[in-house]
A = this chain, B = another copy of it.
Amino acid sequence: MSTAPIGIFDSGIGGLTVAGAIRKLLPNESTVYFGDTARVPYGPKSPDTVRRYAREILAWLLQQDVKAVVVACNTVTAHALDELRERSPVPVIGVIEPGARAAVSATATGVVGVIGTAGTVASGAYRIALQKIRPDVRVMEQACPLLVPLVEEGWFDHEATRLIADEYLQPLRRHGIDVLVLGCTHYPMLKSLLHRVVGDDVRLIDSAAETAGELAHVLNEMGIAAPANSAPTQRWVASDDAARFAKVGAVFMGGSPAPVELVDLGQVKEASSTRESSTTA
């Protein structure tokens, strides 16, 4: 048992859907969410740049004495998960593997659709993860760059959103997918609209919920889940523009904006391979 917090991070606010799923599934756990709003978005950045940013954030989270780290960002998971796991003394959970496992379990036709940002699709991370579990699965990927800004505008149920989703998803439907992985942390906010667009025959896989399930599994297996009588706390931290983070965060998490702390990562040294040296750096 441990009351230490879970560290969750994303390039911005999208990972809040993962934080929300964790809060729902594991209400006794304390969390520290870090959104790197000063450097969002990571998608168009080079893998080396993304890895450097991820190491800096890992170092900062370890300074907060987290007992596990959830990489609530598809771009970071695609480029940096292995390196973060090597450097971290605590377990590191990404958003790709849990969704891929759920998709392989759910498909009957063996044709799986994946939607994500341009960066995630270009990385081929879901295709690799899916075919590692089941080599003969056919993966149809589609980049949907307009869905993130539509979510951030709050246009969850707008006719323009439906038109755009329809245009993106038509080719996947023609290929006979029976499962669609929402491969971007923003997309769970569009779940009901996407469900209407693809129809009842296509099962949607919500990576945020699957990742929360994987975290629960790891905490239990390692015996570090919080006790039932814990008094959990939630910290929200951003590297820039706390006001916008609080506003969009409230749309994502429901309820009114919570106080957001501002942290300048310029002062944080990179994570080294042991917790001791990174917390004293």
Binding site for B on A (CB under 8 A): 37-40, 44-46, 49, 145-146, 148-150, 152-153, 155, 158-160, 163-164, 167, 240-241, 244
B146 in contact with A49 (CB, 8 Å): no
Q: Which residues of B contact A164 (CB under 8 A)?
A: 160
Contact of A163 among B153, B160, B240 (CB under 8 A): B160
Within the oligomer, what is the number of copies of this chain? 2
Contact of A241 among B40, B44, B152 (CB under 8 A): B44
Indicate the member of A38, A46, A145 with the most B CB atoms within 10 Å: A46
B45 in contact with A240 (CB, 8 Å): yes
CA distance A164 to B163 in the complex (A): 11
B39 in contact with A39 (CB, 8 Å): yes
Contact of A244 among B39, B44, B153, B240 (CB under 8 A): B44
B152 in contact with A45 (CB, 8 Å): no
B45 in contact with A241 (CB, 8 Å): yes
Q: Which residues of B contact A45 (CB under 8 A)?
A: 38, 240-241
CA distance A167 to B153 in the complex (A): 13
Contact of A44 among B153, B158, B167, B240 (CB under 8 A): B240
Q: Which residues of B contact A149 (CB under 8 A)?
A: 145-146, 148-149
Chain B, Cβ-Cβ closest to A165:
B160
CB distance from A248 to the nearest CB of B (A): 10
Q: Given A148-B149, A160-B167, list of 19 further CB < 8 A pairs?
A: A37-B44, A38-B45, A39-B39, A40-B44, A44-B240, A44-B241, A45-B240, A45-B241, A46-B241, A49-B240, A145-B152, A146-B146, A146-B149, A146-B150, A146-B153, A149-B149, A160-B160, A160-B164, A163-B163
CA distance A149 to B241 in the complex (A): 21
